[in-house]
Amino acid sequence: MVGGRRGLLALLVLPLLVGTVPAAERTGLVVVAGGVGGVDPLGLWAKMLLPWTGVPHEIRDFVWTTGFGKLVRDVQDTTNLKARADQLAREVLDYKAEHPDSPVYLVGHSGGTGIVLATAERLPPATLERIVLLSPAVSPGYDLRSALRATRGEIVSFHSTLDRFWLDWGTTRYGTIDRVHSQAAGVNGFVAPAGLDAEGEALYRRLVQIGWKPEMLLEFRGGFHASTVMPAFLARHVAPWLRP
């Protein structure tokens, strides 16, 4: 675990010095999708930090939002979400056609989790290696079965009971990305659909849900909405899920 001021300084400065993994050494692809409004720092931090933590893949920041500061429009514009999910699915399939043995990971934060899941639903079974959801702004009852089918490994979801301004008040008032006016899954996690058959139960066993704990304060994660995209959290909790 990275601790203390020196550890934090390293997380902030070293990625700027190290740079990205050389193209010839990249073994796969990680696509990250930030939240609504075009203000999410996930793409910036992921590109700088993940190569330094030993993630040996190309890192792409997929921009799906409709413009800077257009938070409510991004939440409610289902047409744009579907179009961007179609686009990303094509990009993933093109990459797999050229690199059939290379793993592809999708990482989404907040509203970006809606794009990540919608993309997975458009892909053939076992196309993706793993999906990571950070503070998901989709409803707790979102059916993950199609996304799980498209994934060889797990869907890993991080949530926090402290993340109530954006993912409780905000999603109750303006809706989740899947257009449900309720608390989002990023607060207390996902709930499996009722009456799952044997296949559904097997799929949901690959859902890994990780809730915020007070000891995460030592890793500079305060349990709030942007905490899951901060450098220390990405290094400690997200990067391990993106390595072979």
On the question of pLDDT at 49 being above 50, the answer is yes
Question: All domains of the chain, ordered by start, with CATH?
Answer: 29-242 (3.40.50)
Q: What is the pLDDT of residues 190-206, one digit of tens each?
A: 999 999 999 999 999 99
pTM for the whole structure:
0.89
What integer pLDDT is reported at residue 154 of this predicted model?
98
On the question of pLDDT at 217 being above 50, the answer is yes
**How much is the average pLDDT of 45-74?**
94
Task: Tokens 């794009």: give the residue.
Answer: 115
Q: What is the pLDDT of residues 128-166, one digit of tens each?
A: 999 999 999 999 999 999 999 999 999 999 999 999 999
Rounded Cα distance, 193 and 211, in Å: 20
What integer pLDDT is reported at residue 2 of this predicted model?
40
